[in-house]
Structures are given as C-alpha cells and as structure tokens.
Amino acid sequence: MVEQLGNYRIVRRLGTGGMAEAYLARHSGLEGVDRLVVLKRVHPQYANDDEFVTMFLDEARLMAALSHPNIAQVFDLGVQGDSYFLVMEHVRGPTLETILAANQRLGRAGLPIEVALPLLLQIAEGLLYVHEARDEFGRPLHVVHRDLNPTNVMVAYNGAVKLIDFGIAKAAIRVYETRQGVVKGTYGYIAPEQLDGKRTIDARADLFSLGVLMYEVCTAELPFGPGTAPNLLERILNGQYRRPSRVNPDFPAALEPLIERCLAPDPDARFSSMREFITHLSEYMASRRILPTMVALGEFVRGVVPDPEGMEPIVVRRVAPGKAAAPRATEREDVTQTVNTVASASRAEPVPDGDDEERTVSNSAYRALSANAEAAPSAGGVGAGSASEMPPPKRSLFVPLAIGFLLGLVVFGVAMAALSSHGNMAP
C-alpha cells in the first residue's frame, strides 16, 4: 500500500471503487495542528485514460466550487506520478446504506420518523444548495447530482449529514459530456427521464431519487424493488409501487402525498423545486413537533452502528518544550501552557522531554480539561475568569498608619508654633 501522497501520510485504506480508491490520511501542520482527511485517488490503471481523468478533474472542479454543511468539502487537488488525488473532508460516521442495513438486522421496518425526517431534511437542504449554486461571477452552475442513493450519503456520529460522490453530477462547468444513450445513475433510484436518455435532466430528477430514498428510509424497502428486480423499468416509468403505509403501518399517512409527488413519472407533476419540498416537509415536522436537530439522529446512529474508536475523538498533539517553531502571542502561550499543565496532571505518565506526543482524548475528557484550564490561574489572565471574579488584593496596614502618624506630627508642630508666636506678642 502507498504510504505517502504529496504532503499527506496514509493511515489506512478505506476502500476502492470503479475508478478510484480512498485512503484515510493525516496532514501535519505547524505547531502540532493535524488534520485527518480522505484522499480519493484515480486507480493507477486509469491514470492515462483521458476520459477517466477528465471525469475525475470535473468532480474536483465542481466540489471545490461547493461549500455547504451538508456536502463533504474538497480541500485540495494533488498529483503524484501519473495519478491525481482529491483531498476531502473526513466524515466520521457510516454511510446511510450501512445504517439502513444495521437497522434492518434489528428487525425494524424503517427508521423512527423523528429520526428519518431530520435526516431527509438535511439531504434536501444540501441538494437545494447544489441546485441553486452559482460560480464566482454569479452564473448558475445548474448542478444535478444524478446519483442520490444510500451509498452517497454519510451520517456523522454527531448527526451531521453529508452528500458525497459528485462523480457523475451534471453541471455547467463540466468538460466531459455523457455520451448519448449512456444511463448514469443507480438503478432503483434514478428518475424515468434518466432511463430513456432523451429528455433534459434537471433538478427534478434529484427530487425523484429523494422520494425513493424517503420511501426506503421509512419502510426499509425500495418502492420499485432492487436494481435487479424484473419489470423494474416498467414499474418506474408507470409509477407502480405500494403505498408506504401498507409496507410500514407506522408510516404517517399524511406524508404519503410528499412521496407521491416526488415519485411522479412526469417531472411536471413533482414538486417544482427542492425548496418547495423542504417547505412541505418542514410544515409537517412543525405540526408534529419534530425538531430539525442533529442530536437525536446522532444518538440513533451511535446506537445502531457504534463508533469502534469511541465518540468523536479529538486529536491533541503536544509539542515538547523547546520545539516550538515560532514565538506565540502572550495570550496563546498562557492558554496553551495552562491546558498542557492540566492535561499532564491528569495522566499518570509524564511526557518525555524532546518528544512530540499524540493522544486521543474523548469529548468528556476534553470538556473536563477545558473546564479545569479555565479554572486554573494564568500568568496573563487569559482563560482564568474575568477581573470581577477575582478576590480583591489584601492591603497592608503599615502605609495608612505611617501616614496618620506623620500627619499628627505636622499638626502638633503647627500648634506649637502658633502658641510660641502668641507668647511673643507685645502686650
């Protein structure tokens, strides 16, 4: 396995796809600032294939232009030898496909509605941003994902939902054009207009895929059956599927019109935009007091797909004394020193001088360290509480006593001088 790609040290291989392979990697910055990232590299056998390379660079160009909380961010594009690689955000959590499979193994017919709807809302908000995205000059990018399915949705353990893999997305800034008659997408999720290859594809194709996803998330079944099902294309083109409430009796009947409009074979019969879908979904959630927060979703994900390495570890890299690359501002030195001192005190073993140390600290431990650091005294006063919270300094009694004594002497001297002057006056 490759050990280094550019400035990124490989931690482990994550997986491989049709045209690329993915690695978890670490980028080490100055002053112990590290970042875990995902590297997506073109397979060596395709490094000289102009078509594959063009598609890969199209994805890099598109994702670099997108910035939204529900889209996995692209940080950089690199090349090593003949192979290009993308530097992407590391999402700590499973794919939606993994979550659905784990939930089904527990014998459940879909995700709980209070979990499913906030998840779907985040997906829709990410797609809305994509559909309305513009370039730096304000020109519409006309982006359509075209391959929305559970493998391309990741859910972090904190409940954040991220869309990934825009490899076949349609966009105005693409160089590569799909050949006529070639179907792009995943059978069972793609819209009817993507199947015939003759009609123009727009944002409403993603609405169809979102309807399929909503059906699957809430019932644990696909509306038209899996991609290998007989007569699949016929059922998609004719809009033939069982009502979700008949598959899962717990599915709210009031939500069926949303799925029905999304899965309409005719794009004109669907919601006019992702924004309209979000409006209807949000209104239903508000009427049932389902909060659009990430908390319940994150807790659910950790329950069905436990994090093997613990909840949200924070990598803390301490720089040993004498190894700082550059002087810091006084405030930064005070805070760093306080946190490091508390961290060292909380461990049994000391940090050897001259060695860098890298540790993983859980959120609860980090919060404890932060609380202790804020309570600890600091030379510069940063992170040690406001001045109003500090006790007043003790005053010495010597100074006021000495001043009083001297004043007394002065008064006594003046009085004596006055008496002397009075005694010398002529009768």
Residues with active-site annotation? 147
Residue spans of alpha helices (H) in 159-253: 192-196, 204-219, 232-238, 244-247
Query: Quick one: DSSP state of residue 115?
Result: H
- Positive/negative CA dihedral, 142, 146, 147, 148: positive
In DSSP notation, 393-424 reads: PPPPSHHHHHHHHHHHHHHHHHHHHHHHHHHT
Give the residue among 231, 228, 230, 255 at the shortest CA–CA distance from 244: 255
> What is the per-residue burial (b if ≥16 Cβ within 10 Å, else e) of 308-334?
eeeebbeebebbeeeeeeeeeeeeebb
In DSSP notation, 245-278 reads: HHH-TTS-GGGHHHHHHHT-SSGGGS-SSHHHHH
Q: How far apart are CA 168 and CA 19, in angstroms?
A: 12
Which amino acid would we find at residue 327?
P
Dihedral, CA of residue 316, residue 322, residue 324 and residue 329, to nearest 10: 100
Q: How far apart are CA 190 and CA 168, in angstroms?
A: 12
User: Within a 10 A sphere around the Cβ of 342, how many other Cβ atoms?
Assistant: 18
